Amino acid sequence: LEKTLIRLRQERTKQDVSLLPEHQQALKFIPCSGHSRIYLLQMDDVAFVSSRMSGVYVTSSDGKEGFTELTLRTLESRTPLLRCH
């Protein structure tokens, strides 16, 4: 897994979010809910995002997980996150 992640980071090109329409600027925070509260998770703190039958979940670098109503497509287009299957 570590070798694959290193290769992906080397081969990956930065997404050009400057081409987004003005009303769709790059996201700096992801709105999440969990533990009976709503919070904004900074993009720098996002470890990964996963999709399940119950919705889309964001996991932070410290292991905390929250539900977001944003779709994977929105997150992929408006953040530097990379989709892998």
Residue pLDDT, tens place only, 9-20: 777 666 665 655
- Encoded amino acid at 78, one letter: R
- Count up the domains in the chain and report the number: 1
Residue 65, classified by CB atoms within 10 Å of its CB into exposed (0-12), middle (13-18) or buried (19+), is middle
Which domain, by its residues, includes 84? 43-85
CB distance 57 to 50 below 8 Å: yes
User: Is the overall model pTM greater than 0.75, yes or no?
Assistant: no
Q: Is residue 62 part of a domain?
A: yes
Q: Is residue 25 part of a domain?
A: no
pLDDT in tens, 31-49: 999 889 999 999 999 999 9
